[in-house]
Structure 1
Amino acid sequence: MTDFTFHHGGISVPNLEEAIHWYARVLGFELERRFYIDAARSHTAMVRKGSLRFEIFEVDGAAPLPEDRRSPPLDLKTHGNKHVAFQVADLEAFLEDMEAKQADIAFIVREAFGKGCFIRDCAGNLIEFVEG
């Protein structure tokens, strides 16, 4: 089988500038580059933190995120991509940091099988963090 590695996750947002700022302020991502995708009519940015990347799209006329896609348990009831997940060393310390940055914490899991949480970005997209 041909080898491959993870390159990026993609998200659609209503306001590209706000999203670039949010990913920098809350999660420490830096703007890598901006470009325009003619076929999608998308103002686009690639943000990066180490080897992690998000491609952020602002598309003219895009529909808003449905309310049930903002809730981890409800989102699972719709087929399709769900979220990306990142590992943190200490969930409680991460949650304290997110609260200090006024991040929208959507869901917290503290179970025998593991601990984690979901936060919402400035457009409501879910991002998971698991302790490991």
Structure 2
Amino acid sequence: MTHGEDLSFHHHAVSVPDIEAAATWYADLLGFGIESRFALPGDIQAMFLVRGPLRIELFEVPSPQPMADDRRDPRRDLQTLGHKHICFRSEDYDRIRSRLKLAGIAIILEVGSGKAQGFFFNDIAGNVIEILR
């Protein structure tokens, strides 16, 4: 079934314990820049990061609850309902993988092969990210 309404991707949102450290991590390792900053009721700090058409929204809340260890591993996280990870596709797959490893980022899981190859890693707050060839 097709729907006629226009629909396009806008952003992926993640909660982080330190919004400034997360913004720096995403800038240094994945090339995102700060698009805007704003506050929400309840002393919540937020910002949009942008890289071309991609956006990530970061949230920092007072007294956050820690992420369960199972959420940090894409294999175990499948056992918990909800969003799983964000995935970026890149023609520079090997270069990104090498740069992340040189920065000390652990590759959690590698999947597929050839043009369907991907790898998973955690951001500074433990959120799972996938890079797909």
TM surpasses 0.5: yes
Equivalent position to 2:11, from 8, 27, 30: 8
Point out where structure 2 has 5 or more consecutive residues left out of the alignment: none
CA deviations 1:42-75 (Å, max 9, x no partner) are 1111110011010000011220111000001000
2:49 maps to 1:24:
no
SS at match of 2:76: helix
The alignment's C-alpha RMSD in Å is 1.6
How far does residue 19 in structure 1 lie from its aligned partner after superposition?
0.2
2: CA distance, partners of 1:118 / 1:76: 14
> In percent, how many aligned pairs have the same letter?
37
Instruction: Compare the two structures and name the one with the higher strand fraction.
Output: 1
- TM-score, normalised with respect to structure 1: 0.91
Equivalent position to 1:109, from 99, 111, 121: 111
SS at match of 2:117: strand
Moved over 3 A (4+): 110-113
Point out where structure 1 has 5 or more consecutive residues left out of the alignment: none
- TM-score, normalised with respect to structure 2: 0.90
1: CA distance, partners of 2:92 / 2:30: 15
State the match for 1:85 in structure 2: 87
